[in-house]
Amino acid sequence: MHIVLIEPEIPANTGNIARLCANTGIELHLVKPLGFSTDDKYLKRAGLDYWHLVKVHYHENFAEVLALYKDHKFHFATTKAAHVYSDVKYGMDDMLVFGKETAGIPESILKEHWDDCIRIPMACESRSLNLSNSVAVIAYEAMRQLDFANLKQIGRDHLD
């Protein structure tokens, strides 16, 4: 599975998402321009010591991602979508796409891929969830549907 962040702006969010990727085996794609340096101390602090476990890809633009992964299924997270994220069927190689914190995914991309847009239900009065929270909600639903493939399952039986 892949998480794609289009022009992320806040290093702590990207660091949190990198940590999620490290713990799940999901590959991370960062689409430029980035709103921070990848050497940023807040980015590294949020990802803690997990960065060596993350497979990170850097892309010059989103068109590059579409071209490189044309055989993959894309899901575009937006508050404007009709489809709820939990009603979608996910696959192992799917691309979960998220926009930047202040503007989301560009309208031109949403219009072109409208049938593949998904949303997280929330109160009408609120604008959106935090980016790293949104990524976690959708990524874990996708992994749940895939029976948490490739993740170790530790339960109470393993406590001694």
Contact 50, 23 (CB under 8 A): yes
Is 86 a known ligand-binding residue?
no
Is the peptide bond preceding residue 33 cis, with omega within 30 degrees of 0? yes
List the strands of the sheet with 117-119, edge to edge. 56-59, 27-31, 2-6, 95-98, 74-77, 117-119, 83-84
Q: Which residue type occupies 127?
A: R
Is 120 a known ligand-binding residue?
yes
Q: Which residue type occupies 42?
A: Y
Is 108 a known ligand-binding residue?
no
Task: Show binding-site residues for S-adenosyl-L-methionine.
Answer: 99, 120, 128
Binding residue positions = 99, 120, 128
